[in-house]
């Protein structure tokens, strides 16, 4: 591992969703000279969504990617040092904390704010992996356009699946929605919208048996969990919308998490079990997971970091 450049920073922010950028805005305004690494998806999950109607301050709503450009610009204007790069390894065993970027650049940080968010989950079928990018996708908003005028399938029954099925229904002739139980987890209003959309066909008590196609998706085979009856549905795309997992793997040696990998913070704070390491946004929140709550927790993390550094006499 090349280790030619070591840089010392007061506040290192890992991740660039609403939590990371808000932490950067607050830390920069407090003159803590934050450095933020954006990760593999600059702007985070909001860059793969469409209309955001529930973020206060946008009375007409705003497109997710545009909103994240606003966040980034605001953080940059305040003086945050925003960089491309992915944190690939950490050592939180002693101060200063070590974080490696892209496996080579080493940063030594007096405090760290983890805001790495969460990523889409997959079913785990070999055919899903083989056809990923060839009709299999975890983002209807990113890839739905390619299947305009076609029949598609989507698996999942939460708000994300409902939202994406509705989005696809505007582009595609039929949306086949595969739901593993006899009910949906999505909010009532979203369920009502799904079930009253004529070109969304819901298959209850159904699991995905196989995604079929040699070089690209051609059909999906589903199995009714009550009768074991299998049905093949010809489709051009298969969208997976079954939830998310926190991006916390590189921290697990040091940071306390729950059994699904969500970082545990001390209630009412952004503090983790490691002094000077804070967590904000979806990586530590499996309950609310909203842009506005992520932003709020990013603010908390910056304020907690500021207090920590000033108590240590560092900044
Ligand atoms: P959820 O965890 O809420 O839902 C996941 C869905 O996927 C569930 O219906 C689950 O089924 C299903 N599922 C999980 N694993 C499998 C599997 N292996 N095979 C088939 N189905 C599976 O995730 P979401 O991403 O939908 O939502 C996350 C959070 O974000 C929620 O709190 C949601 O309310 C919120 N959200 C809000 C939105 C809004 O307000 N506009 C938009 C999008 C998300 P089962 O129900 O059987 O467990």
pLDDT tens figures, 115-139? 999 988 999 999 999 998 899 998 8
Reduced to 3 states (helix: H, G, I; strand: E, B; else coil), residue 260 is coil
Q: Is the CB of 163 under 6 A from ligand 1?
A: yes
The catalytic position among 81, 91, 139, 159 is: 139
Say if ligand 1 is within 6 A of residue 181 CB: yes
In degrees and rounded to multiples of 5, residue 166 shows phi and psi of -65, -40
Q: Could you give the CA distance from residue 258 to residue 32 in angstroms, rounded to a whole number?
A: 31
Return the CA Rg of the chain.
21
Helix, coil or strand: residue 13: strand
240 touches ligand 1 (CB under 6 Å): no
Give the active site residue among 102, 142, 249, 258: 142
CB < 8 Å & 24+ apart, contacts of 224-228: 225/180
Residue whose CA is closest, atom 46 of ligand 1? 185
Which of these, 56, 58, 24, lies nearest to 42 by C-alpha position?
24
Tens digits of residue pLDDT in 278-306 = 999 999 998 888 899 999 999 999 999 99
Is 143 among the residues known to form the active site? Answer: yes
- The closest alpha carbon to 127, from 206, 221, 205, 203, belongs to 221
Q: H helices within 154-282, ranges in order?
A: 159-169, 188-195
Strand pairing class (35-37; 6-14)? parallel
Task: Identify the pLDDT of residue 4.
Answer: 56
Pocket test for ligand 1, best of 49, 55, 159 (most atoms within 8 A of CB): 159
Contact 278, 271 (CB under 8 A): yes
Instruction: Quote the crossing angle between the two packed helices 18-29 and 64-77, to the nearest 10°.
Output: 20
What pLDDT score was predicted for residue 1? Answer: 47
Torsion on CA atoms 71, 73, 74, 76, rounded to nearest 10: 120
Scored b (16 or more CB within 10 A) or e, 189-222 reads ebbebbeebeebebbbbbebebbbbeeebebbeb
Q: Provide the whole-model pTM.
A: 0.78
Question: For residue 27, is pLDDT > 50?
Answer: yes
Percent of the chain past pLDDT 70, that is, above it, reads 98
Task: Report all structural domains of the chain as residue ranges with CATH numbers, in order of start.
Answer: 7-119+244-312 (3.50.50.60), 122-240 (3.50.50.60)
């Amino acid at each position: 591992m090349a280790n030619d450049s070591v840089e010392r920073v007061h506040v290192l922010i890992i991740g660039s969703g609403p939590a990371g950028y808000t932490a950067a805005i607050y830390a920069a305004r407090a003159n803590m000279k934050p450095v933020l690494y954006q990760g593999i998806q600059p702007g985070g999950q909001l860059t793969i969504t469409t209309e955001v109607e529930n973020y206060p301050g946008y009375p007409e709503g705003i497109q997710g990617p545009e909103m994240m450009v606003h966040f980034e610009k605001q953080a940059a204007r305040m003086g945050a040092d925003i960089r491309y790069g992915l944190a690939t390894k950490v050592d939180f065993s002693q101060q200063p904390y070590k974080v490696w970027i892209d496996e080579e650049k080493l940063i030594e940080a007096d405090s760290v704010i983890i805001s790495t968010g969460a990523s889409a989950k997959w079913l785990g079928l070999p055919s899903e992996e083989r056809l990923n990018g060839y009709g299999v996708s975890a983002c209807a908003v990113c890839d739905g356009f390619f299947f305009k005028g076609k029949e598609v399938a989507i698996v999942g029954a939460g708000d994300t699946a409902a939202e994406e099925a509705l989005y696809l229904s505007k582009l595609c002739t039929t949306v086949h929605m595969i739901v593993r139980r006899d009910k949906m987890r999505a909010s009532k209003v979203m369920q009502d919208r799904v079930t009253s959309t004529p070109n969304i066909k819901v298959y209850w008590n159904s699991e995905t048996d196989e995604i079929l196609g040699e070089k690209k998706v051609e059909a999906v085979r589903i199995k009714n969990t009550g009768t074991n009856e299998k049905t093949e549905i010809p489709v051009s795309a298969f969208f997976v919308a079954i939830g998310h997992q926190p991006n916390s793997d590189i921290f697990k040696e040091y940071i306390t998490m729950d059994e699904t990998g969500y970082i545990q913070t001390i209630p009412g704070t952004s503090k983790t079990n490691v002094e000077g390491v804070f967590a904000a946004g979806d990586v530590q929140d499996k309950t609310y997971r909203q842009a506005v709550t992520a932003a709020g927790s990013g603010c908390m993390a910056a304020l907690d970091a500021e207090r920590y550094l000033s108590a240590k006499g560092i900044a």
